[in-house]
A = this chain, B = another copy of it.
Amino acid sequence: MGPFLVESVLSEAINLVETKTLVIDEELRLESGRLLGPLTLAYETYGTLNAERNNTILVAHAWTGDAHAAGFHSREDRKPGWWDDLIGPGRLLDTDRYHVICSNVIGSCKGSTGPASINPQTGRPYRLSFPILMVRDMVRAQKLLLDALDIPSLVTVIGGSMGAMQALEWGIHYPGMVRSIIPIAGTGRTSPMAIALNALARQAIYNDPLWKKGNYKPEHQPVSGFALARAVGHISFLSEESMAMKFGRRFTARDGLFDFFGQFEVERYLEYNGNNFPSRFDCNAFLYLAKALDLYDVAWNFSGLEEALERLTCPSLWFAFSSDWLYRPEQTEEVVEVLQGLGQPVEYHRIESDYGHDSFLVEPEKFTPYVGSFLERVWQRVQAETVAKEN
């Protein structure tokens, strides 16, 4: 029993992580022209920054994600970070080699400055006085964080969905710092369909009298409207196929087929998950991030897609999922084709998966092999250049 016990204690010790916060006493000029600051940024790191300070990988999270990408916060924690399968010793993002960092985006509510934060100018929460953000602003804030941590370069920026948007913005706006990017299930610009779905979510919240134009108390969130808004999201993250596999047309066992309030299982699932959500996310933050998603357009403030993508000079590795109807493969392909036309180093895989937009979380094994070999090549180049510099 002895050795097993020791090993188990050790591995738990390795997996214990904590969310750190850094206050940046600066005002960030946002795309809207407004200023936001000082900024608090929540982040986690895994692995060790090497002496050359060139082994960092930035992991960017999706809409309602957070800085807790891997490991456990305590021994009692039952769920690890959201991409734990991919981050750790010997894993895809191998913490024996890489220093991995994940930070909560500004506008969120998971430790970084967002609409629920106290506005230092007024001493009261921002709520709807919080400025409208774009994904580009989130990336600028991350850059301030990396500067503060004295990290001058990134092996890669990797992320799914809104994380893919951040990766692309990083590649375009900080070409000198980023050695590669890996956008997964992303888009070059949000489609009218995705905007329309977010419009439903917004309206569901606006319709809830408890929302009070954002002036609800944290302990009295507009639960009904917010749960419905989340259910809209859930539908868009799933696919026809994944719903068929998971629920089919099964009716909830406790309900009668001819009861007015009787539910199909898919309906109960949406209700259950929606209702749990307000306990772990701030409604206004949800709305601000939805807005940032809607406004997302890589060509924003460029003359067009070409002018924006000309700046992406590092190698990029793209994934889209066949059953993703929120950010359809065609949307990634539009970007990839422009990059190919520009002769830039680009690798693209359209992955067959039945899990819709969520595939990047549900079936990582379908794309991680490509990430592994891509990263290996990038890392070898980073090392070769370090050696060259030293000589």
Give A192 to B191 CA distance when docked, in angstroms: 24
Say yes or no for A131: interface residue by CB 8 A criterion: yes
A197 to chain B, nearest CB (A): 7
A235 & B204 in contact (Cβ 8 Å cutoff): no
For the complex, what is the distance from the CA of A264 to the CA of B320, rounded to whole Å?
26
Q: Shortest distance in angstroms between A335's beta carbon and chain B's nearest beta carbon?
A: 15
Contact flags (1/0) for A359-386 with B, using CB distance below 8 Å?
A: 0000000000000000000000000000
- A151: Cβ under 8 A from any B Cβ: no
> In this assembly, does A196 line the interface, its C-beta being within 8 Å of a C-beta of chain B?
yes
Determine the main DSSP class of A at the interface with B. helix
The copy count of this chain in the complex is 2
Complexed CA–CA distance, A202 and B297 (Å) = 33
Per the 8 Å Cβ criterion, residues 220-258 of A in contact with B are 224-225, 227-228, 231-232, 235, 238-240, 243-244, 246-249, 257-258
Interface string of A303-339 (1 = CB under 8 A from B): 0000000000000000000000100100000000000
Q: Which of A33, A196, A224, A243 has the largest count of B CB atoms less than 10 A from its CB?
A: A196
Task: State which of A5-13, A98-106, A265-273, A344-352 sits at the interface with chain B.
Answer: A265-273
Chain B residues whose C-beta falls within 8 Å of the C-beta of A132 in the assembled complex: 257-260
Which B residues touch A246, using CB under 8 A?
192
Give the one of A34, A192, A193, A249 with max B CB within 10 A. A192
Contacts of A291 in B (CB 8 A): 260
Q: Which residues of B contact A195 (CB under 8 A)?
A: 249, 264, 266-267
Q: Which residues of B contact A244 (CB under 8 A)?
A: 191-192
A32 at the interface (CB under 8 A from B): yes
Task: Tell whether, in the assembled complex, residue A235 and residue B270 are in contact, meaning their CB atoms are under 8 Å apart.
Answer: no
Kindly state the separation between the CA atoms of A34 and B260 in the bound complex, as whole angstroms: 13
Q: B residues within 8 A CB of A224?
A: 207
Beyond A132-B259, A260-B128, A260-B291, is A271–B189 a contact (Cβ under 8 Å)?
no
Asked whether A266 lies within 8 Å of B199 as measured between CB atoms, the reply is: yes
Give the nearest-CB partner of A243 in chain B. B192
Whose C-beta in chain B lies nearest to the C-beta of A300? B257
**A40 → chain B closest CB, angstroms:** 22
Given contacts A240-B191, A260-B132, contact A196 B267 (CB under 8 A): yes
Known: A192-B266, A243-B192, A264-B192. A200 touches B235 (CB 8 A): yes
8 A-B contact pairs sorted by A residue (CB < 8 Å)? A32-B258, A193-B235, A196-B267, A199-B266, A199-B270, A200-B270, A207-B225, A240-B328
Which chain A residues have a beta carbon within 8 Å of chain B's beta carbons? 31-34, 128, 131-132, 189-193, 195-197, 199-200, 202-204, 207-209, 224-225, 227-228, 231-232, 235, 238-240, 243-244, 246-249, 257-260, 263-264, 266-267, 270-271, 287, 291, 294-295, 297, 325, 328
With A196-B270, A199-B266 already in contact, 7 other A-B pairs whose C-beta atoms are closer than 8 Å: A132-B260, A191-B244, A192-B243, A195-B264, A195-B266, A200-B228, A207-B207
